[in-house]
């Protein structure tokens, strides 16, 4: 079978200390790309291939890989919080219930 | 209504997207670290959570279900960036899995509708089977072949005949409908699906029309998939959001009372209230209904009376389920998919970090560094 590309790889042109690097995430799109960009900022192209490139440039030679890991952790926490808030609203809030026919 | 009657947090101009006659302004959020002197906008989980159940506090998460039916849900997601709201929307449409018919074996088809057209129509029929009960087909290995853990089998058999005289109708089986799909349990499926046998969510979808002597006989295999591969696996008819509209009246230039009716007519029904004296009022509940048609900006006499805005971080979601999920289950499913994405990238990043400690990335020979890809190509 064809070889499956790695989920995440660092593209050519990265700084040796990873203070600036472009990451290619395989089989992902703007769904996670833009969320990660926002989380990292707290600029992505439109690829026709099923991977996305994420460019991270750091100040003070800090590691972009560590920044990426931190952003991923924050995104995970954000997901939990959104889900909890949604479930809380669904179970305790009063909202309009209506009958919709197919 | 005076603008001052709105909750203070909604008057924060940083949350406003301007809606003008022929353009929009301030589309992007500016609340990043380093943008405003002496303000810290770095990510703060505690701050994000803090007051999430209190209404209209800026920069904090708030989720509120507004309307719910058997088929659709409307909820507000306040206090997140567009990238997050958009990720959830995209995942609901394209990455929450469902089960749909993928392989069609045509034993006989003498109807006027071609095999491939009929197969396509059958593929689009939404099925009620709970996707969590099946595995995905895998490209290789045991999961690559159909078995009772990854495939549901249906039969579709119909022969059209002339109805007996006096029966009140001309034909029998002249319309083949989704309700004619017959589930054929395989292996352990009879037990697994005992309480909820798989079938179409709507039994009245016409698949083909027959005339006497014509016949359809097919075996159909349904598998699990996601909407990004084919829309038939999308669990929703639509999942969309819009930003909450804001209509800010200018207290310095009230709308002339004799023009109140005309002013109200510039907005969607129920947005603007006009009392007996021709005094105008708009509350938040009314603003929500507005389509932001910008009609009011076309009239000279209302110039300066009103400003149209949208709240940049107030997303009004509308999700219409069209498959196995109850509408209120879709957001939690999307969050689950998002979390799985984050986890898989995280695992890869951690592996890369471990890798990078021993190797110098950026060098063409380095592990994990791709030599074929040039920077800046994309």
**Is A43 an interface residue toward B (CB < 8 Å)?**
no
Mean of pLDDT values over B104-120: 97
- The helix or strand, by DSSP H or E, that contains position B175, with its residue range, turns out to be strand B175-177
State the Cα torsion B33-B35-B38-B44 to the nearest 10°.
-20
On average, the pLDDT of chain B sits at: 89
Contact A16 B361 (CB under 8 A): yes
Q: What percent of chain B has pLDDT over 70?
A: 90
Tokens coding B344: 């898989």
- pLDDT band at residue B19, thresholds of 50, 70 and 90? very high
Are B103 and B227 contained in the same domain? yes
Q: What percent of chain B has pLDDT over 90?
A: 76
- Rounded distance between C-alpha atoms, residue A71 and residue B219, angstroms: 48
B19 has which bridge partners? Answer: B24, B308
Contact A31 B87 (CB under 8 A): yes
Please tell me whether residue B67 adopts helix, strand or coil conformation. Answer: strand
Q: What is the CATH number of the domain that holds B43?
A: 3.30.1360.10
Are B83 and B105 contained in the same domain? no
Are B83 and B116 contained in the same domain? no
Minimal Cβ distance to A13: which of B86, B331, B375: B375
Are A32 and A72 contained in the same domain? no
For residue B329, being part of any structural domain is answered with no
Count of domains in chain B? 2
Are B105 and B196 contained in the same domain? yes
Say if strands A96-97 and B62-68 run parallel, antiparallel, or are unpaired: parallel
- Rounded distance between C-alpha atoms, residue B65 and residue B73, angstroms: 8
| Total number of residues shown for chain B | 378
The parent domain of residue B110 ranges over 98-233
Contact A86 B331 (CB under 8 A): yes
- Rounded distance between C-alpha atoms, residue A68 and residue A55, angstroms: 10
For residue B27, being part of any structural domain is answered with yes
For residue A5, being part of any structural domain is answered with yes
pLDDT of residue B53: 45
For residue B218, being part of any structural domain is answered with yes
For residue A21, being part of any structural domain is answered with yes
The residue out of B233, B262, B291 marking a domain boundary is B233
Q: Which residue of A has its CA nearest to B66?
A: A95
Are B186 and B244 contained in the same domain? no
Minimal Cα–Cα distance from B55 to chain A, Å? 12
The residue out of B202, B233, B264 marking a domain boundary is B233
Are B59 and B168 contained in the same domain? no
Using alpha carbons, select from B368, B364, B371 the residue that is nearest to residue B348: B368
Render pLDDT for B195-227 as a digit per residue (tens, 0 to 9): 999 999 999 999 999 999 999 999 999 999 999
Are B102 and B212 contained in the same domain? yes
Tokens coding A23: 């990451």
Contacts of B367 (CB under 8 A, 6+ apart): B355, B359, B361
For residue B74, being part of any structural domain is answered with yes
Are B221 and B245 contained in the same domain? no
- Rounded distance between C-alpha atoms, residue B330 and residue B324, angstroms: 10
Are A10 and A33 contained in the same domain? yes
Q: What percent of chain A has pLDDT over 70?
A: 91
The residue out of B319, B348, B370 marking a domain boundary is B319
8 A C-beta contact, residue B251 and residue B183: no
Minimal Cβ distance to B45: which of A7, A34, A77: A77
Alpha-helical segments (H) within B58-200: 82-94, 115-123, 189-192
Count of domains in chain A? 2
Are B198 and B219 contained in the same domain? yes
- Rounded distance between C-alpha atoms, residue B323 and residue B137, angstroms: 20
Q: What is the CATH number of the domain that holds B221?
A: 2.170.120.12
Q: Which residue of A has its CA nearest to B69?
A: A98
The number of beta carbons lying within 10 Å of the beta carbon of residue B195 is: 6
The parent domain of residue A86 ranges over 60-94
DSSP state of B14: G
For residue A67, being part of any structural domain is answered with yes
């Amino acid at each position: 079978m064809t070889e499956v590309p790695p989920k995440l790889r660092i593209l050519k042109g990265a700084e040796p200390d990873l203070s600036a690097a472009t990451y290619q995430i395989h089989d992902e799109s703007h769904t996670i790309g833009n969320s990660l960009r926002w989380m990292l900022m707290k600029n992505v192209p439109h690829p026709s291939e099923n991977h996305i490139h994420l460019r991270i440039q750091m100040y003070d030679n800090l590691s972009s890989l560590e920044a990426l890991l931190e952003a991923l952790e924050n995104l995970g926490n954000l997901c939990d919080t959104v889900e909890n808030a949604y479930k809380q609203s669904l179970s305790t809030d009063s909202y309009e219930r209506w009958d919709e026919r197919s | 209504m005076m603008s001052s009657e709105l909750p203070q947090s909604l008057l924060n101009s940083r949350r406003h997207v301007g809606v003008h006659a022929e353009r929009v302004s301030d589309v992007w959020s500016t609340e990043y670290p380093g943008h405003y002197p002496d303000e810290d906008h770095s990510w703060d989980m505690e701050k994000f959570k803090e007051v999430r159940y209190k209404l209209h506090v800026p920069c904090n998460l708030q989720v509120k279900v507004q309307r719910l039916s058997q088929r659709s849900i409307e909820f507000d997601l306040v206090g997140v960036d567009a990238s997050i709201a958009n990720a959830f929307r995209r995942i609901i449409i394209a990455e929450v899995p469902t089960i749909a018919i993928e392989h069609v074996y045509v034993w006989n088809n003498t109807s006027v509708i071609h095999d491939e057209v009929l197969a396509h129509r059958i593929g689009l029929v939404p099925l009620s089977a709970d996707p969590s009960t099946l595995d995905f087909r895998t490209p290789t290995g045991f999961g690559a072949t159909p078995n009772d853990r990854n495939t549901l089998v249906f039969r579709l058999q119909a022969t059209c005949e002339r109805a007996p005289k006096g029966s009140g109708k001309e034909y029998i089986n002249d319309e083949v409908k989704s309700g004619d799909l017959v589930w054929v349990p395989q292996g352990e499926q009879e037990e697994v699906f005992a309480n909820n046998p798989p079938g179409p969510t709507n039994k009245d979808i016409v698949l083909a029309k027959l005339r006497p002597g014509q016949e359809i006989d097919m075996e159909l295999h349904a598998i699990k998939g996601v909407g990004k591969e084919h829309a038939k696996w999308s669990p929703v008819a639509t999942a969309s959001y819009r930003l909450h509209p804001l209509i800010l009246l200018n207290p310095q230039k009230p709308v002339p009372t004799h023009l109140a009716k005309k002013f109200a007519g510039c907005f969607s029904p129920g947005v603007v209230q006009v009392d007996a004296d021709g005094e105008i009022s708009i509350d938040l509940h009314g603003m929500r209904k507005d389509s932001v048609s910008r009609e009011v900006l076309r009239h000279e006499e209302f110039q300066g009376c009103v400003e149209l805005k949208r709240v940049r971080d107030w997303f009004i979601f509308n999700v219409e389920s069209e498959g196995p999920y109850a509408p209120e289950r879709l957001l939690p499913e999307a969050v689950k998919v998002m979390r799985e994405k984050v986890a898989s990238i995280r695992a890869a990043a951690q592996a890369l970090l471990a890798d990078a400690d021993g190797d110098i990335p950026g060098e063409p020979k380095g592990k994990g560094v791709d030599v074929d890809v040039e920077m800046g190509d994309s």
